[in-house]
Structures are given as structure tokens and as C-alpha cells.
Amino acid sequence: MTNTSNSRVAIVTGAARGIGAATATRLAADGHAVAVLDLDENACGDTVEQITGAGGRAIAVGADVSDSTQVTAAVDRVAAQLGPPVLLVNNAGVIRDNLLFKMTEDDWDTVMGVHLRGAFLMSRAAQVHMTEARYGRIVNLSSSSALGNRGQANYSAAKAGLQGFTKTLAIELGPFGVTVNAVAPGFIVTEMTAATAARMKLDFETFQKGAAEQIPVRRVGRPEDVAHTISFLMSEGAGFVSGQVVYVAGGPLS
């Protein structure tokens, strides 16, 4: 734990692993109590143990972010057990990649449901606590794929949609002391990119090496790179930064 003076309550969705787990751990190290939310409550155990083992406060919460009843119950439970959640990271994500002519309606709806509907439902439920507290921070996970990526029409549309969602919430919630920003990672080593390598029938190491050669800083990203940026946007001192999209991609993107 590095600081408890500005301790608040955070919810990180999709925090059982990957970027979400690194973000939950980082926010706990920043001094916040963290609700580690994922589809399967049991899967959150490792992240919770990592936080509590380091002296932090965390609970595991099982919920599907695309289900409004589950979202309401989850946010209510966090408020009852940890206190009003005024920090929210909409990180839960799935991919259902395919070229347009092969993409099914289910592939489309699933991706929209988790990324867009999920961020909408979680933000709508959590903003009640933020506006009441006259303080809040929301970070939405966009992606470099928002700029276009072959085989990801659904994911790209959802991640671009999250940028518009972010800017609109920043306008609506700003008067209540709530900032809303998006972080758009490039290539980050997680199970999601491992699944992409598998779909392309590439060895994951080879896939990472090829990606690193195209990135100006000549390496692929780690979950901690994204968590560090989110930590800044979640901080009290970042209160004049809102409606922004920060690319965490080892170089500029156009």
C-alpha cells in the first residue's frame, strides 16, 4: 500500500485476469478498496488474494456486466460492503473476431453487449454514488482497434463507440465532479492477444516478436503499462483531465 489518505472505493470489471487484474492491484496499491468484478466470482480469488496479501482491501463480485439485474445487484453489494463506489473501470471485454462476410449476428451482439451495453449499465448504476458524492472517476477501455482492424468489425465499432460514450459522459457528469476518460491500449500481452495469435495459427512468442518490431518503443505492452495510465486518470490530481482518449501503444497512432 502506497497511500491511504485519499482512499476511495473502486470497481474494476473483468478483473479476474489480464489488464483488469493489474488495474485492480494497482488501484489497491494506490490506497483504494477494490471490488474485483468478473463473470465468475470464484475466478476473482487470485486477484483478491494478491491485494489482501499486500495489505489492501478487496472483495470478489460475480456479475455479467451486460445484464442489468446483475449489474444493479453488484453495485448495491459493493456499496453495502465497501462503501459508495466512486471509481469505475469498465474493462470487461471479449473478442469474437471474423471477417465481415463470416461474422454472425451472435458475434456482433455479444461484443456490443459486453463492451458497450456493459459500460453503459455499469456507469449508469455507479454514477448514482458519484453524483451524490460530488466526486467520481470513470475510465473506459477502448483500443487501438477503434481506428480499424481487419477481422474486428464488431470489436472496432464497440471500441470506437466507447470513445463517443466517454466524451458524452464527460460532458454530462463533469458538473458533478466526475471525470470520464478512455484508455486505448495497443498490443498488450494477455489471454486476449494469446487467443488472437491462436486464431491466426501463430505461436504466441512469434506473434509478440512481430508486433514489437512494428512498435516505436520496440516492445509489446504489459497489463501494468495500462494500469499505470489508469492509476493516473483515477487520481484526485487528474481532475482537470476529462473526455480524453489516451493511447497506450508504445507510439503514436493515426
79 binds ligand NAP (CB under 6 A): no
Among 92, 139, 170, 233, binds ligand NAP (CB under 6 A): 92
How far apart (Å, rounded) are the C-alpha atoms in residues 35 and 103?
34
Range in contact with ligand NAP (rule: CB under 6 A) among 50-58, 186-194, 208-216, 231-239? 186-194
Choice between 118 and 161, CB closer to ligand NAP: 118
161 binds ligand NAP (CB under 6 A): no
From the candidates 108, 120, 135, 155, give the one annotated as an active-site residue: 155
132 binds ligand NAP (CB under 6 A): no
Report the chain's terminal Cα–Cα distance, integer Å: 38
Instruction: Report residue 16 as a C-alpha cell.
Output: 479476474
Q: How far is the CB of 175 from ligand NAP (least distance, A)?
A: 28
Among 18, 85, 151, 250, binds ligand NAP (CB under 6 A): 18
Answer yes or no: 247 catalytic.
no
Q: How far is the CB of 140 from ligand NAP (least distance, A)?
A: 9
Among 106, 191, 205, 213, binds ligand NAP (CB under 6 A): 191
Q: How far is the CB of 18 from ligand NAP (least distance, A)?
A: 2
16 binds ligand NAP (CB under 6 A): yes
Among 38, 97, 107, 225, binds ligand NAP (CB under 6 A): 38
Q: Which residues are catalytic?
A: 155
